[in-house]
Structure 1
Amino acid sequence: MKIVVIGPAWVGDMVMSQSLYITLKQQHPDAVLHVMAPGWCLPLLERMPEVDRAITMPLGHGDLQLGARWRLGRELKAEGYDWALVLPNSLKSALIPLFAGIPRRTGWKGESRYGLLNDLRSNKRDFPLMVQGYMALAFTKSQMTSATALPAIPHPALRVDRAQQDKARIRLGLSSQAPVLGLCPGAEFGPAKRWPETYYANIAERWCAKGGQVWIFGSAKDGDVAHSILNQLSPTAQGQCQILAGQTSLTEAIDLLAACNAAVCNDSGLMHITAAVGTPLVAVYGSTSTAYTPPLSTKVETVQTDISCRPCFKRECPLGHLKCLTELSPDRVWQALTRLHPVLAQDVSPITLADD
C-alpha cells in the first residue's frame, strides 16, 4: 500500500500528527508513507522514522491557485498512491488528492468537502483531542464511532541527532557544565498564549540561583521577548542565560531542546517539540486548553487558571485583561518544576531582578 498524507501547516499540529503516522505503520507495516507539508515543517518530518518521504507543499496557506493545485495533483498521480488522508479542514486541501486520482480519500467533513473526499467522516465531536481526530482517520468509519474505540495514543517521538546537537553547541558557544532550563516564551498564535516575560524572568532567576543556566528559544520574532526576559535578570543570572531566539534552525532547536534538563513553554510548536524529544516540561496554557491540544508526554506538568472566560481560543484577549495568564503566578510554575525535579524544592531567596 502507498499512502500520502496532506499534513497540517502549524508546527505543533505537525508534531502531533506523528501519532497518526505511527498508527498507520502499526496497521500497515509494509506501507510506504509520504507526507506533504509546507517547507518549514519538513525538518520535523525528517525526524519521524515512520515517514518515508516528505513532499514540499509549494502553495501558501491561504492560496486557492486552482491551476497550480491541478498541476501538483497530476504530478502526484505518477506516484500511484492507493490512499490519501487529508488532515487540514479546508476545501482546497482536499483538491490535490482528487486531482491526483487517488482512489481512497479520507478526511473530516470540514468545509463541506462532499465529492472531494469519498471516505468522509462527520462525527469529529466524538474525538475531542486533535490527536484523536488524526488517529481516527487510520481506521474505518465502522471501527471509529468515538474516541473510546481508539487504541492508546502513541506519543510523538522525534529522532535526536547527537552529532548535530554537538555541532550546534559548538557553533553557539553553549556550555554543558551546568543544568539547562529551556524557556520558550513565544507563541506564533498570538498574545493570549504568551505568559508574561516578567514571570519567565522570575523562573529563570530561580533556576540560575540553583547553579543552572538558561537557554531562551524562539524564532527571530521572539527576539524582543527574549531580550526583555534577559534584561530583567540580575547581573549574575544574565551571565548564565543565553538567547537562542532567531539563532537556530528548527532542526537545531529540536536537538538543543533535547539537551535541556527541563523546559517551561507556552502552548506553542516548541512546546510540542519539547514533549516529543522527552525533555521534562512545564506547559503554560492561557486562552487554549489541554482538553484539545495537550503536550503528549509522560514527563509533563500543565498549569492553567480556572477563570470562567477560559478557554476562549482567541489570539488576543477579548476582554482586554489577559487574566488567564497574569493570574498564573510564577510560584505555580516553579512548584510544577519542583515536581519534575524534586532537587529544586529547597527555597531560593531572595530573588532579585535587574529592575528591582
Structure 2
Amino acid sequence: MRKEEIRRIVVRGPNWLGDAVMCEPALSQVRTLFPHAEITLLVKPAIADLLAHHPAVTRTLVYDDRGRHAGLTGKWTLAGVLRRHRFHLAILFQNAFEAALISFLAGIPRRFGYATDGRSLLLSDPVLVPPRRAQRHQVEYYWDLLKPLGGQGQAPAPRLFVTPEETALIAARLAEAGIGASDLVIGVNPGSTYGHAKRWLPERYAEVVNRVVKDVQGQTGGRVGVAIVGAKGEEPLGKGIADQIKTRTVVCSGQTTVRELMALVKRCQLFLTNDTGPMHVAAAFKVPLVAVFGPTDWQTTSPFGVEAQLVRQPVSCAPCLLRECPIDHRCMTGVTVEQVHAAASRHLPLAVPPPAERALILGAAPSPISLAGVTVFLDRDGTLNIDSGYLKSPDDLTVLPGVGAALARLKQAGARLIVVTNQSGLGRGYFTSKDLEAIHHKLRLVLAEDGVTLDGVYFCPHHPDDRCNCRKPARGMIDRALAELQVDLTRAYVIGDSARDVELARQVGAQGILVMTGPSGAEALADLTARDLSPDHVAEDLSRAVDWIVAHATRMPTADLSQ
C-alpha cells in the first residue's frame, strides 16, 4: 500500500460505549499513520456523541440501524452513501459480518479487519485474530489490528474530550442540587445495560458511599455530593440507592445524554462502578475509580492505563460472560461492603478541586485579575436580556449578545453576581410565580453555557401602588442580600438600564452604572442629569460596563473601592 495515495478513510467503530472508549487509542493512531487523509468515523448514534470533537476525526457518519439503515434495504442504502464518498480504505474495528459486507458493497478497494464472523472473503486484508491464550487487553486488541498498516509501539491510555460549555452545563445541574464547584463529588454507576449479572447489590453501594462520605468529612471536613448515573430504565435503581445515602445526592440515571454523562463523570473525584461503559469513561478522564467485576473478564476489559482498584470474588464459574446468572450470582454476592470500602479508601484523601481548576469546572479559564470581595448587582430586563415588556414565559427570554462572556470575566475574577429585578407583572396578574421561576431557571442555564453562576436572584413581586420597601429604587432587595449573603457595600456596583438602578446605587452607597441596552437609556440619562444624579459611569453595553468595573476596582485600594 502506498500510504500517500490513501486520501479518504472510513473507520467503522465499535457499537458499545466501553468498547468505543477502549478503541480510542487505535483511532488516534489511524491519524498518525495517515496524517493527511480525511478520516470519516462510521458509528451508531451513541458512539458518534462519545467521540464528537475527537481530533483524529474529520467527519462522522451515523449508522442508524434502528431507523433508515434497518434491514437489508437500509444496509444497501448505507453502502450507497459510502460509495458516493469514494473511500480508498476501510478499517473495521467492529467485528460483525455486516461491517465487512457493507464496506464490500460500497466498493471500497482496501478493507482491513479481523478475520472473524465468517467474513474473511469480504476483506481485502483479513488480519488473524490473536490467540485466546494471549489474554490481550481489548485496548491492545484494537491497537494490534493496525500493525499490518505500520502501527507500532505500546498502546497508550484512552482519552476523551468535553467542551467548556458541556462542563459548565453539568456544573449548573449540580449547583441546582446544592453541589458547588468546590465540593467533592462521588459518582456511582450501579447499573448495566448488558444485563443484571454485571450489577453489584444496590444496598451495598449505598453503604459504601455512606462510609466514604463519613471518611472524607472526618479527614477534611469538606462538603461531599453524590451523583448517580445510569441508562434509561435504571431510574428506580438510582433512586433506591439515593434514598439510602446520607448526603446531598442527585440521580442522573436516564437523565443525561452521552456528552452530559462524560462531563459529569469527569467532574467526579471518585467513581464507584460495575464493569460498564461509564467505567471506561471515568478511566479515560483519569478519575480515581473502584470497579466491581463479576461475570466479565477483568484481564481483558479492566480500566486501562490508570491506577484503578478492582474488586472481584474468584469463583470457578467466572468469567462466564452471561447477561443473567443461571444459579446464585455468587461472583457478585460474594463481594462485600468491606472489600469495596477498603478499595475506595486507597484513593483517600480525595483531592478538592484547587482554585485554579474551579473556573475550568465552571467552563472558563482562570482570571489574571482578582475581584475577590466585589459584588455586582444586576438589573434583569434591558440589562441581561432584551426588554420586550412583561416577560411572561421562558420561551420569550433572549439574553443580550455578549452578556454571558462579560459576566464570565467577573465570575472568573472572583466577583459575586446578584440579580435584583422589579417584577410588578406578578402583582398585576400577568404571570405566575411558577412562570417567573421557570424564566429564572432558563436564565441560569443560558448563563451556565458561558460558565456563569448567579449567587442570588431577588425580585420585587409588588404592584407599584403597594408602596413596598423592595421595589427599586427602594433598597429592600439589597438589604436581603446584605443579610443573607453578607455583602460589603463599600465594594459593590449596581448595573442597570433605568434611572431607578442608578438611584438604588446612590441609596446603598454603591457605584452606579447605566447601560444603554434598554429601550429608554437616553431618556434615563437625561432625567438623571437633570436631577443631578449622574451615574458613575455610562456604558454602551454590559461588556463595556465590565471593562469599567475591572479598571475601577483594580486601581482603587481594596479598603475603599467606593470612591
TM range (shorter): 0.7 to 0.9
User: Residue 68 in 1 paired to residue 82 in 2?
Assistant: no
Query: Partner of 2:163 in structure 1?
Result: 161
**Quick one: which amino acid aligns to residue 22 of structure 1?**
S
User: Residue 54 in 1 paired to residue 56 in 2?
Assistant: no
- Shift, 1:159, TM fit: 0.9
3-state SS of paired residue (2:322):
coil
Query: Partner of 1:104 in structure 2?
Result: 110
- Shift, 1:127, TM fit: 6.3
Query: Partner of 1:178 in structure 2?
Result: 183
User: Residue 84 in 1 paired to residue 73 in 2?
Assistant: no
Query: Partner of 1:254 in structure 2?
Result: 262
Q: TM-score, normalised by structure 1?
A: 0.87
1:123 and 1:13 mapped to 2: Cα distance? 17
What is the aligned-residue RMSD (CA, Å)?
Answer: 2.1
Query: Partner of 1:213 in structure 2?
Result: 225
Query: Partner of 1:272 in structure 2?
Result: 280
User: Residue 332 in 1 paired to residue 319 in 2?
Assistant: no
3-state SS of paired residue (1:124):
coil
Q: How does 1:1-356 map to 2 (within 5 A)?
A: 1=6, 2-60=8-66, 65-125=71-131, 126=134, 128-140=136-148, 151-172=153-174, 173-174=176-177, 175-176=179-180, 177-209=182-214, 210-211=216-217, 212-233=224-245, 237=246, 239-319=247-327, 321-342=328-349
**Quick one: which amino acid aligns to residue 94 of structure 2?**
P
**Structure 2 gap segments, 5+ residues each:** 1-5, 218-223, 352-563
3-state SS of paired residue (2:147):
coil
Higher relative contact order (CA 8 A, sep 6+): 1
Which sits farther off after the overlay, 332-341 or 269-278? 332-341
CA contact (8 A) 2:162 2:262 kept: yes
CA contact (8 A) 1:22 1:154 kept: no
1:8-37 deviation digits (Å, cap 9, x = unpaired): 111111111111111212222223221111
3-state SS of paired residue (1:20):
helix
- Shift, 1:47, TM fit: 4.0
2:344 and 2:185 mapped to 1: Cα distance? 13
2:30 and 2:102 mapped to 1: Cα distance? 21
**Quick one: which amino acid aligns to residue 77 of structure 1?**
R
Which sits farther off after the overlay, 3-12 or 47-56? 47-56
1:178 and 1:112 mapped to 2: Cα distance? 52
- Shift, 1:60, TM fit: 3.8
2:66 and 2:22 mapped to 1: Cα distance? 21
CA contact (8 A) 1:5 1:87 kept: yes
**Structure 1 gap segments, 5+ residues each:** 145-149, 345-356
2:45 and 2:126 mapped to 1: Cα distance? 27
Q: Identity of aligned pairs, percent?
A: 30
Which sits farther off after the overlay, 196-205 or 114-123? 114-123
Aligned length: 332
1:303-352 deviation digits (Å, cap 9, x = unpaired): 11112111111111122x111111111221122222222469xxxxxxxx
1:59 and 1:259 mapped to 2: Cα distance? 32
- Shift, 1:64, TM fit: 7.0
3-state SS of paired residue (1:50):
coil
Query: Partner of 1:347 in structure 2?
Result: none
**Quick one: which amino acid aligns to residue 190 of structure 1?**
G
3-state SS of paired residue (2:126):
strand
2:309 and 2:33 mapped to 1: Cα distance? 31
CA contact (8 A) 2:11 2:40 kept: yes
**Structure of higher CA gyration radius:** 2
Q: Could you say if the C-alpha distance between residues 309 and 127 of structure 1 is closer, same or farther in structure 2, counting changes exceeding 3 Å?
A: closer
2:31 and 2:283 mapped to 1: Cα distance? 21
1:32-85 deviation digits (Å, cap 9, x = unpaired): 221111112211110422222111002249x87233222221221222212111
